[in-house]
Amino acid sequence: MARNIGPEDRVVRIVVGLGLCLLAYLQVLPGIATIVMAVLGVYLVLSGLLARCLFYKLADIDTSIQEQPYSSTDDRAGL
């Protein structure tokens, strides 16, 4: 699977994933919510580190492509 997560998205995923893992470790919520939080946190961290997201692939989203600024030949110096 090709990379489909951009650098900003990767940072957000890793930070949020680590936060969810920490909250799951501290067992802030009871029972099944802790397990769901831990699984979601691990998925976010792994997808951030690998720059690949299964759900982005299913939805055909690609945030790794950066738009290039528009430039024309009229922007040359001296014209």
> Does 71 map to a domain?
no
Structural domain tally of the chain?
1
**Residue 75 included in any domain:** no
Q: Which domain holds residue 59?
A: 7-65
Which parts of the chain sit beneath pLDDT 70? 66-79
pTM for the model stands at 0.78
Would residue 78 count as lying in a domain? no
In this predicted structure, what is the pLDDT of residue 2? 83
pLDDT of residue 75: 57
> What is the residue-wise DSSP string for 20-79?
HHHHHHTT-S-THHHHHHHHHHHHHHHHHHHT--HHHHHHT---SPPPPPP--GGGSTT-
